[in-house]
A and B are shown apart, each in its own frame.
Chain A
Amino acid sequence: MIRRWYLWLPLVAFIGFVALVTSGLMRPMDREVVSRMVGKPVPEFALKPSIPELPGLSSADLQDGKPKLMNIWGSWCLPCIAEAPHLETLKANGAEIVGVAIRDKPEDVAGFLAQNGNPYIRIGADDLSAVQLEIGSSGVPETFVVDGNGIITYQHIGDVRAEHVPMLLEKLDEAAQ
């Protein structure tokens, strides 16, 4: 065994490689940047309407006493299409959803809504991701629960899936307390 020590060298080198890339792989795992804004009030902002049919969105709209879901999305983002039906379900269950369209164009937004349904009561156009970054969202789609006083109570990162719907409705109820 010992005479053939060099036969083990490839394996040792390979284990070193695996250890290295595993550490590298752990790193992107924390790409889910959790917002530091949870529990804090929404920053002041006022966004112009993204499409003429719906009003725009400002921080004042989030302080009307009724909890809301604030959905950060873009017509160019694939997971947003996947989550569209679940937003519809949320709407059907009485959730009020406001949208922030990231770096988007009115005609694209209109096309998206025509194809995937429109769960929103307001859509603000965030052309430079300014509001997105202000509230600590690092990607699309993300959905925030904002209580009636404009305080962010919960952040959902990634697309809303069927299994998240009851949980988000519950968070809305909690925010209403």
Chain B
Amino acid sequence: MIAELGLAALWLAAALAGLQLIAGAVSVKQPDGPLASLARPAAVMQGVLAAFAFAMLLWLFAQTDLSVKLVAANSHSAKPMIFKLSGTWGNHEGSMLLWITVMALAGAMIGYLERRLPEVTMQATLATQAFVGLGFYAFLLLSSNPFERLPTPAAEGQGLNPLLQDIGLAFHPPTLYFGYVGLSVAFSFALGALLTRQVTPNFARAMRPWVLGAWIFLTLGITAGSYWAYYELGWGGWWFWDPVENASLMPWLAATALLHSVSVLAARDALRAWTIMLGVVAFSMSMMGTFLVRSGVLTSVHAFAVDPERGAFILVLLGIYIGGALTIFALRAGTVQEGERFTATSREGALVFNNVMLSAILAVVLVGTLYPLLTEAFGVQVSVGPPYFNPVGAIFTLPMLAVMAVGPLLRWRRDGVKRVSKPAVFLAIFAVVVGALVAYLSNASVLAVLGLAFAAALGIGSLLPLKGRNLLRTPLATWGMVTAHFGIAVALFGMASESAFSIEKLVAARPGDVTEVGPWKITLDSVDPVVGPNWTALQADLQASYKGAAAIELQPQSRTFWSPERETAESALATRWNGQLYAVMGSGIEDGRRQLRLWWKPFVPMIWLGGILVALGGLLALIGRLTADLKRHYVRRRSAERREETQA
């Protein structure tokens, strides 16, 4: 019954999306027509119904209703409740339902709240949103129905996969999805504005919170995903340039560029066509990310259940939406009036530079990710990894970082080079000194030296906009920018340190053996069998002492799960403020020794700390923008009331 309710709600939501599309599209042509008042309520209802359908699926998973195919295949009555619930979206059908639910709720929010834009633009925006939604409804209802029943209920579920019982993994995909959906809203706004020729600062202000929100989620998702790969794969690396990772990075790059160009449009009414274009690109990157991960056209170290049919479906959607949007863009962008002017040495100039560099990095990542596909078409198999991405990416990243360090000091519209030359020269000298010191004192690679030098300069430079200001009266949005830029510097510092100063030791040790890794002394005490709920493991007891301090206990394991059978190496970490000790245990050798792989990674936690700071900066900016909007709204209402009073 519950499953049928959910399915009915989903069909109704899809029907409402159809209604919303028609009502919105007709009302663009006839703003005062009979359908003009329909699109907004339809959007709200659609959100409610989709959320209801998703709640039904949650309920089925919470109850472990084994007559439903999806539950039988992905859940198990013995799972802890939290993993039963997260199992709802831990599979293809459920995650697509989550996607459409979040998207419908976002549409409902716009329909209910957004009043700044001309009504006709809103109609076009809601119609676009419904059009995108319909594609996903069709996908769900026609090819991957989450509510499908089994002819005979299963006796027990199959989803006790231990690897998916990981809290990080449970919440990583939804985080990225929120980001993708936020970008879909930005896409709808961009098309709505383009179709109704309303590319204005007001449109940018309406779109900005969605871009910011999406960008915060993407930042968090990428940071969490990187940390997960770091401790789960046990390879000691934090970024592999794997197709799945690139699929999440590309939308982030596009969203970062979009975020900055939207700011220019909102503040200065420039970069109109460019912003629209980026809105389309950012959403296409998120759809493409989903496509690459789900279709299996690219193999990856992250094994996913892939299905060419699903890939084809997503590809068709991608073709319709993005191809259509780019065609409209090509036809319409010419009619968008030129924005306000500015000189090369101005805040806009710096932001344009940042946008162009981000686009170039995006192109580098995209080309590298798709290159194996291209060569495969000619029958040659290649893989592309760090030797390509790191140096080529750096060529565009480093100039961008340099401009980032001084760009926020520039004034809008036009500025003299003289005004920022002093801090710029100071930062440059500082960077050179840091780089020279690192190069002299360590045997770091060129890229790592450059990374540390730029991180140092950017760390100082990002704080300069606060210089000489009353910190209490500085707007939150400025604080947000400073925090995010500083976060980038912190993350870069972590990445470059990890690459420059990491020490790796690979040993075969007997109990009692001592290994030195950098400042650490590590003693292998014993190797004992331990038993978990659905695994057995061998666990090494390591006593790790930092420069003679009291020992910390580390317990890396080599685990064997049954049902389904697999072995995993569970790494163990000891975190200090200045780095992490990372230990992995390997197999045993006939003579009784065990393999241990130990890393001392100075400042590696800064990578993720930086990521969190960047997201926090985004959050501060979002709060600042929203409160300012509310204030403006309130003041306007008050003055309207006063006018009425005086007239009365």
Q: Do chains A and B touch in the complex (CB under 8 A)?
A: yes
Q: Are B319 and A7 in contact (CB under 8 A)?
A: no
Chain A 85-102 interface residues, beta-carbon cutoff 8 Å to B: 85
In the assembled complex, which residues on chain B have CB atoms less than 8 Å from the CB atom of A11? 323, 326-327, 329-330
Question: What is the minimal beta-carbon distance from B261 to any residue of chain A, in angstroms?
Answer: 15
Which single residue of chain B is at the shortest CB-CB distance from A28?
B308
Picked from B73, B156, B315, the residue with its CB within 8 Å of the CB of A78 is: B73
Bound-state CA distance A81–B72 (Å) is 10
A115 touches B565 (CB 8 A): no
Q: A76 touches which one: B277, B288, B297, B564 (CB < 8 A)? A: B564
**In the complex, B503 has a CB within 8 A of chain A:** no
Q: How far is the CA of A78 from the CA of B73 in the complex (A)?
A: 7
Residue in A4, A10, A15 whose beta carbon sits within 8 Å of that of B334 in the complex: A4
The verdict on A21 contacting chain B, using a C-beta distance below 8 Å, is yes
A7 neighbours in B (Cβ, 8 Å): 273, 329-330, 333-334
Q: Is the CB of A105 within 8 A of B565?
A: yes
Are B151 and A85 in contact, CB atoms less than 8 angstroms apart?
A: yes
* A148, B327: Cα distance in complex, Å: 62
> Closest residue to B74 on the A side, CB-wise?
A78
Least CB separation from A162: chain B residue: B151
Q: Which residues of A contact B12 (CB under 8 A)?
A: none
Whether A10 and B330, one on each chain, are in contact in the complex, defined by CB atoms closer than 8 angstroms, is yes
- Of residues 294 to 334 in B, which have CB atoms within 8 Å of A's CB atoms? 295-298, 306, 308, 311-312, 315, 318-319, 322-323, 326-327, 329-330, 333-334
- Whether A20 touches B373, Cβ cut-off 8 Å, given contacts A29-B308, A78-B158, is yes
Neighbouring B residues of A23 by C-beta, 8 Å: 373, 377
- Judged by a CB distance under 8 angstroms, whether B195 is at the interface is no
Report whether B281 and A25 are in contact in the complex, using a CB–CB cutoff of 8 Å.
no
The closest CB in chain A to the CB of B298 belongs to: A24
Residues of chain A in range 66-124 having any CB-CB distance to chain B below 8 Å:
76, 78, 81, 85, 105, 108, 115
Q: Are the CB atoms of A18 and B329 closer together than 8 Å?
A: no
Rounded to whole angstroms, the CA-CA distance of A23 and B374 in the bound complex is: 9
From A1, A22, A115, contact of B155 by CB (8 A): A115
- Residues facing A in B68-93 (CB within 8 A) are 73
Which A residues lie within 8 Å of B333 (CB)? 4, 7
Also in contact, A18 and B315, with CB within 8 A (given A11-B330, A78-B158, A105-B565): yes
Q: How far is the CA of A24 from the CA of B378 in the complex (A)?
A: 11
Let me know if A18 and B323 touch, CB within 8 A. Answer: yes
Bound complex: CA A78 to CA B373 (Å): 29
For A25, list chain B residues within 8 Å (CB): 295, 297, 308, 311-312, 315
With A25-B312, A108-B563 as contacts: A10 and B326 at CB distance below 8 Å: yes
Min distance, Cβ A22 to any Cβ of chain B, angstroms: 7
Contact B323 A14 (CB under 8 A): yes
List of A residues within 8 angstroms of B286 by Cβ: none
In angstroms, Cα B316 to Cα A18, docked, is 9
A15 touches B323 (CB 8 A): yes
With A10-B281, A18-B315, A21-B291 known to touch, is A28 a contact of B322 (CB < 8 Å)?
Answer: no
User: Main SS of the interface on chain A?
Assistant: helix
Measured CB to CB, the nearest residue on chain B to A27 is: B376
Give chain B nearest CB distance to A57 CB in angstroms. Answer: 23
Q: How far is the CB of A129 from chain B (nearest CB, A)?
A: 15
Chain B residues with Cβ below 8 Å from A8 are 330
Residues of A within 8 A of B327 (CB): 11
Chain B residues contacting A10 (CB-CB under 8 Å) are 277, 280-281, 326, 329-330
Q: Is the CB of B373 within 8 A of A21?
A: yes
A8 to B158, CA, bound (A): 50
What is the distance, in angstroms, from A44's C-beta to the closest C-beta of chain B? Answer: 29
> Which residue of A15, A20, A78 is within 8 Å of B374 (Cβ)?
A20
Report the minimum CB–CB distance from B230 to chain A (whole Å). 28
Cβ contacts B267-280/A at 8 Å (1 or 0 each): 00000010001001
Contact of B326 among A14, A20, A31, A76 (CB under 8 A): A14
Contact string against A for B residues 357-396, beta-carbon threshold 8 Å, 1 for contact and 0 otherwise: 0000000000000100110110000000000000000000
13-72 of chain A: CB within 8 A of chain B = 14-15, 17-18, 20-25, 27-29, 31
Q: Please judge, given known A-B contacts A10-B326, A27-B376, A76-B564, whether A18 and B318 are in contact too, CB under 8 Å.
A: yes
**Residue of A11, A22, A24 with most chain B CB atoms under a 10 A cut-off:** A24
| Chain B 41-75 interface residues, beta-carbon cutoff 8 Å to A | 73
CB distance from A9 to the nearest CB of B (A): 9
B319 to A18, Cβ gap below 8 A?
yes
- Check B373–A24 contact: CB distance below 8 A: yes
Q: Is A14 in contact with B152, judged by CB distance below 8 angstroms? A: no
| Chain B residue nearest in CB terms to A3 | B334
CB distance from B321 to the nearest CB of A (A): 11
Q: Is B284 an interface residue (CB 8 A)?
A: yes
**Which residue on chain B has the smallest CB distance to residue A31?**
B308
B154 touches A (CB below 8 Å): yes
Q: How far is the CA of A23 from the CA of B312 in the complex (A)?
A: 11
Contacts of B370 in A (CB 8 A): 17, 20-21
User: Which residues of chain A are near B374, meaning CB under 8 Å?
Assistant: 20
Q: How far is the CA of A37 from the CA of B647 in the complex (A)?
A: 93
Can you name 5 A-B pairs with beta carbons within 8 Å? A7-B329, A14-B323, A25-B295, A25-B315, A76-B564
A residues near B (Cβ < 8 Å) are 1, 3-4, 7-8, 10-11, 14-15, 17-18, 20-25, 27-29, 31, 76, 78, 81, 85, 105, 108, 115
Residue ranges of B at the interface with A (Cβ–Cβ < 8 Å) = 73, 151-152, 154-156, 158, 273, 277, 280-281, 284, 288, 291, 295-298, 306, 308, 311-312, 315, 318-319, 322-323, 326-327, 329-330, 333-334, 370, 373-374, 376-377, 563-565
20 A-B pairs besides A11-B327, A25-B308, A108-B563 with CB distance below 8 A are A7-B330, A7-B333, A10-B277, A10-B330, A11-B323, A11-B329, A17-B370, A18-B315, A18-B323, A20-B373, A21-B295, A21-B373, A22-B315, A24-B298, A25-B312, A27-B297, A28-B297, A28-B306, A28-B308, A78-B158
**Interface pairs A-B: 7 shortest CB-CB:** A11-B326, A24-B297, A4-B334, A24-B373, A7-B330, A8-B330, A28-B308
